Amino acid sequence: MTTAEQAFADRLGITAGQTVREIGWDEDSDDRLRAAVEEWTGTALTDEDSEDVSDAVLLWWREEDGDLCDALMDARACLSGDGFIWLLTPKTGRGGHVDPADIAESATSAGLDRRPPVNLTPDWSGTRLDLPRAP
């Protein structure tokens, strides 16, 4: 794994052996990021039709993809108890950009805790969404 690929995996908080589901892949998705996750975990990404429980979800989302809250609820349903979702959206100025207010509202409605967004690739930003922790 190259240093750049390891940096992707480290930023995502994904570790070796984790099961990562990918939802919303399309031709505009960043293959370098996908490859880094597969290399780091040692396993292929599972697709959205898999019935396995996942440790993490990569959710590629564009403004025109539909109802974000519904997609987050579906992604949440396949997570393990300490799993998390990376909501990957096109950066500002790119086609399909999602307004940060829409992300915040959808995450709250889906019962997910939102972390600040990060720049992951030249075209994609990521927002980590966590299941709420019991007090």
Quick: pLDDT tens for 18-60: 999 999 999 999 998 998 899 888 999 999 888 889 999 999 9
- 108-134 pLDDT tens trace: 999 999 999 999 889 999 999 999 876
Are the C-beta atoms of residues 126 and 12 closer than 8 Å to each other?
yes
- Give tens-digit pLDDT for 62-109: 999 999 999 999 999 999 988 999 999 999 999 999 999 999 999 999
Q: How far apart are CA 117 and CA 100, in angstroms?
A: 9
What pLDDT score was predicted for residue 133? 78
Whole-angstrom distance, CA of residue 110 vs CA of residue 134: 16
Strands (E) across the chain are located at 20-23, 54-60, 79-90, 113-114, 118-119, 124-130
Per-residue pLDDT band for 5 (boundaries 50, 70, 90) equals low
Distance (Å, whole) CA 65 – CA 88? 12
